[in-house]
Amino acid sequence: MTNIDGSAAPGAPAGPGAANSLVAQLDAITLDQLRTFLAVADTGTFSAAGRRLGRVQSAISHSIAALESQVGFALFDRSRRLPVLTAEGGTLLAAARSVSLQVEALHASARDMRSGTEPAVSLVVDAMFPTAKLVEVAQGFQQRWPGVIFRLRVEALGAVLEELRRARSGIAVAAAYAEHAGVVSLPVGSVEMVPVAAVTHPLAAHRSAQLSTAELGKHVQIVLSGRGEEESAPDRGVLSPRTWRVADMETRQALIQAGLGWGNLPMHRVQADLASGALVRLCPRAWVGRVMAVGLVATWLPEAPPGPVGRWLVDALRG
């Protein structure tokens, strides 16, 4: 007899033959045995496991006994009224559960591919897209499509569609004013943009007044620019000739929070800071009576339309 690690049990002959015998025994373990082991561990009794699996108790007992013989140790202590996992059984339980989950994922992937489901989906979103909504969509994706690989990137402005065209497939959520030539677009909502400054910034003293473009131009405006965009790229919402350009929303927000400049940020990103007083909302005279909002669209290449998973993803983004 051998132990699970391949070493010879007390009194058993050692050598290559014994190790080979152990390997053969372990190779003979079936998924059905692992499922039976999990059922007994989860339900607490052999009879309850039998009811869960639709088998008689004797079949459950036989399956567990065969598995114990193959691994070389007892999985359950049967000396009490109810079976209790042994220390070795508890260790093996985690591995058995992992194998079972992987097999379920394999079955789900095979089933999805038979139905025409994409094995993987790529999504690139503009940094302005609400993070909470993105997390909600990702959670729904994981529940609905557990066997599909999900690739997610966050970019800014023109870099969103550049990434879509580079990959030659997938779905992108881009600003509606981006260059959409050669792609299919579908509206998925909009994001309100708010001009803000830190409470320590000089402009904060004028929070209740309409600010002229000349006054705003005395201060640095933190501007978001997509990766690779030139300084001459069309500026949207830029009122100051003094600009700092950054390529990601987190850096832009951090610089504004530090009082290094003012700028437009999505409302969903600044609500907490406005409520706490860390940021103040500004009122540029040029924008009075206007709601500064950026429309968002889901896009894809016409030669690579979304399949069942992609269509679900677009619907979730719109919801």
Mark whether 143 and 215 lie in a shared domain: no
Strongest mean pLDDT among 16-20, 35-39, 62-66, 133-137: 133-137
Mark whether 156 and 301 lie in a shared domain: yes
The runs of H, that is alpha helices, within the chain are 16-27, 31-43, 46-53, 57-71, 87-114, 131-144, 158-167, 213-216, 249-257, 267-276, 308-318
Provide the percentage of residues in the chain whose pLDDT is more than 90. Answer: 31
The gap between the terminal CA atoms of the chain, to the nearest Å, is 61
Mark whether 210 and 270 lie in a shared domain: yes
Mark whether 20 and 97 lie in a shared domain: yes
> How many domains would you assign to the chain?
3
Mark whether 215 and 282 lie in a shared domain: yes
Mark whether 165 and 201 lie in a shared domain: no
Domain that holds residue 44: 16-114
pLDDT in tens, 66-104: 888 888 889 898 888 888 889 888 888 888 888 877 777
Mark whether 305 and 286 lie in a shared domain: no
For 215, residues 6+ apart whose C-beta sits below 8 A from its C-beta are 203, 206
228 confidence band (pLDDT: 50, 70, 90)? low
Its pTM surpasses 0.85:
no
The pLDDT, as a whole number, for residue 118 is 80
Is the pLDDT at 108 greater than 50, yes or no?
A: yes
Is the pLDDT at 21 greater than 60, yes or no?
A: no
Q: What is the mean pLDDT of residues 122-144?
A: 92
* Average pLDDT along the chain: 82
The pLDDT, as a whole number, for residue 80 is 85
Whether residue 10 is contained in a domain is answered as no
Query: What is the rounded distance in angstroms from the CA atom of residue 172 to the CA atom of residue 174?
Result: 6
CB 262 within 8 A of CB 195: yes
Is the pLDDT at 11 greater than 60, yes or no?
A: no
The pLDDT, as a whole number, for residue 111 is 59
Mark whether 218 and 131 lie in a shared domain: no
Position 123, amino acid: L
Mark whether 153 and 238 lie in a shared domain: no
Query: What is the rounded distance in angstroms from the CA atom of residue 47 to the CA atom of residue 294?
Result: 61
Q: What is the CATH number of the domain that holds 266?
A: 3.40.190.290
Mark whether 309 and 179 lie in a shared domain: yes
Select from 92, 109, 96, 118 the least CA-distant residue to 31. 96
Query: What is the rounded distance in angstroms from the CA atom of residue 75 to the CA atom of residue 90?
Result: 8
| C-alpha distances in Å from residue 41, one per residue of 29, 59, 94, 95, 262 | 17, 16, 11, 13, 60
Whether residue 6 is contained in a domain is answered as no
Whether residue 1 is contained in a domain is answered as no
Mark whether 169 and 301 lie in a shared domain: yes
Mark whether 259 and 179 lie in a shared domain: no
Query: Worst-scoring range by mean pLDDT, 15-19, 59-63, 110-114?
Result: 15-19
Q: What is the CATH number of the domain that holds 69?
A: 1.10.10.10
pLDDT in tens, 143-187: 988 888 899 998 887 788 888 888 877 999 988 876 667 788 889
Q: What is the CATH number of the domain that holds 139?
A: 3.40.190.10
Provide the percentage of residues in the chain whose pLDDT is more than 70. Answer: 83
Domain-terminating residue out of 73, 88, 114: 114
The pLDDT, as a whole number, for residue 26 is 57
Whether residue 7 is contained in a domain is answered as no
